[in-house]
């Protein structure tokens, strides 16, 4: 029964799937809509048949260019970074006549990705979504494939990884940003410069770290191994790893933070140690979120055009939903050094 040829896509109905699976239409409907009151083996059988028939819910097929609804998923906390990206997405959606639904990529309690990618993707298609945007997402290949199977275009903003090279992404010139932040500190006279960044495997963090190393090497300097730390894009990471750096016998005179949150954590670690910013320690961030200008002292940082990244992502996913071919799968917007009060020449 599983080998029955699929009918043409426009004639595939829930009844078709139900007949092939030997279950009721109601059961198939529950699977399509992500209900959990279906036995695991029955769910697996129905999902396999849905994939074989390349079934897409009618609500998704009826969506038109004038009624786009885009799912915007945040992978992690609703941070200052995510807020500014959302501003850009919503603004572009208003200009385009589209709607945006904001949610979390991971379960708020378990912090895990949806365990059944195909059901997850079909649930969004059944709800009438016509595109998906994920910010700082760490999707698996199975989740990417599941979205492709239901014809939902995907755009990832500042991705932590890309399980498929053809996944469309919007980011910034992270390498250049890492170079600019480090060169700024070098020009001030610093030589003992540390780097505290995000997840070691994150592509954006790797690019920022490579930029830092390139600038140091261009100045004839080799960073101390204990001066390079990578863990996560969080305030607590900056505070904890900053304290570790400041406890070293040869502590740095400046630190390049992989994001603004990390930089603010480092500044707090310095305050606890009785050090003054920037008299005793210079710190730079990356992002230029609203928090950077509110810090005491205001944070020198690398500005990512976060709102513009959101606008570009929204416009891109709508173009994909409309069947338009893209010139490139990857878009990088320019970064800019913003000098404020958290950097100064090193102490004598």
Model pLDDT for residues 1-51, shown as the tens digit of each residue: 334 443 344 456 788 888 888 888 888 888 887 777 788 888 888 888 888
Contact 238, 264 (CB under 8 A): yes
Provide the edge-to-edge strand list for the sheet that holds 282-287: 228-230, 193-197, 254-257, 282-287, 300-303, 336-338
Do 78 and 224 lie in a common domain?
Answer: no
pLDDT in the model for residue 153 = 95
Q: Which domain does 120 fall in, by range?
A: 66-171+307-333
**pLDDT single digits (tens) 134-177:** 997 778 889 999 999 999 999 999 887 777 778 999 999 999 99
Cβ-count burial of 257 within 10 angstroms (0-12 exposed, 13-18 middle, 19+ buried)? Answer: buried
**Which positions ≥6 away from 115 have C-beta within 8 Å?**
none
pLDDT in the model for residue 5 = 40
pLDDT in the model for residue 89 = 94
Do 157 and 250 lie in a common domain?
Answer: no
Do 37 and 25 lie in a common domain?
Answer: yes
Average pLDDT, the chain: 88
Contact 303, 288 (CB under 8 A): yes
Q: For the chain, give the percent of residues with pLDDT over 90.
A: 62
pLDDT in the model for residue 212 = 98
**pLDDT single digits (tens) 90-99:** 999 988 889 9
Q: For the chain, give the percent of residues with pLDDT over 70.
A: 92
Contact 142, 172 (CB under 8 A): no
Do 113 and 32 lie in a common domain?
Answer: no
Do 32 and 70 lie in a common domain?
Answer: no
Do 115 and 148 lie in a common domain?
Answer: yes
- Is 297 a member of any domain? yes
Q: What is the distance between the alpha carbons of residues 95 and 331, in angstroms, rounded to a whole number?
A: 21
pLDDT in the model for residue 65 = 42
Domain count, the chain: 3
User: Can you give the length of the chain in residues?
Assistant: 348
Band (pLDDT 50/70/90 cuts) for residue 77 is: confident
Question: Is 70 exceeded by the pLDDT of residue 213?
Answer: yes
Contact 33, 23 (CB under 8 A): no
- Is 318 a member of any domain? yes
- Residue 137's CATH number: 3.40.50.2300
Neighbours of 53 (CB within 10 A): 20
């Amino acid at each position: 029964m599983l080998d029955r040829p699929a009918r043409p896509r426009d004639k595939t109905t829930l009844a078709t799937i139900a007949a092939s699976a030997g279950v009721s239409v109601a059961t198939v409907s529950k699977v399509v809509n992500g209900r959990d009151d279906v036995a695991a083996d029955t769910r697996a059988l129905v999902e396999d048949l849905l994939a074989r028939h390349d079934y897409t819910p009618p609500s998704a097929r009826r969506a038109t260019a004038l009624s786009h609804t885009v799912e915007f998923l945040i992978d992690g906390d609703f941070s200052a970074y995510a807020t500014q990206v959302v501003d850009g997405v919503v603004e572009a959606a208003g200009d385009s006549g589209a709607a945006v639904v904001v949610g979390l990529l991971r379960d708020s309690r378990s912090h895990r990705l949806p365990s059944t990618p195909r059901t997850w993707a079909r649930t969004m298609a059944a709800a009438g979504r016509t595109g998906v945007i994920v910010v700082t997402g760490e999707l698996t290949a199975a989740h990417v494939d599941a979205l492709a199977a239901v014809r939902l275009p995907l755009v990832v903003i500042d991705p932590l990884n890309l399980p498929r090279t053809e996944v469309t992404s919007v980011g910034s010139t992270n390498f250049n940003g890492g170079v600019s932040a480090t060169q700024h500190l070098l020009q001030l006279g610093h030589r003992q410069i540390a780097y505290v960044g995000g997840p070691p495997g994150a592509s954006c963090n790797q690019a920022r770290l490579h930029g830092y190393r390139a600038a140091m090497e261009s100045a004839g300097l080799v960073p101390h191994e204990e001066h390079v730390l990578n863990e996560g894009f969080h305030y607590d990471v900056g505070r904890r790893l900053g304290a570790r750096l400041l406890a070293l016998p040869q502590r740095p005179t400046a630190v390049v933070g992989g994001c603004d949150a990390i930089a603010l954590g480092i500044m707090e670690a310095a305050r606890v140690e009785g050090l003054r910013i920037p008299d005793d320690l210079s710190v730079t961030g990356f992002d230029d979120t609203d928090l950077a200008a509110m810090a005491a002292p205001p944070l020198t940082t690398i500005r990512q055009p976060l709102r513009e990244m959101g606008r570009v992502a929204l416009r891109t996913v709508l173009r994909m939903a409309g069947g338009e071919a893209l010139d490139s799968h990857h878009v990088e917007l320019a970064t800019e050094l913003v000098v404020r009060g958290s950097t100064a020449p090193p102490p004598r």
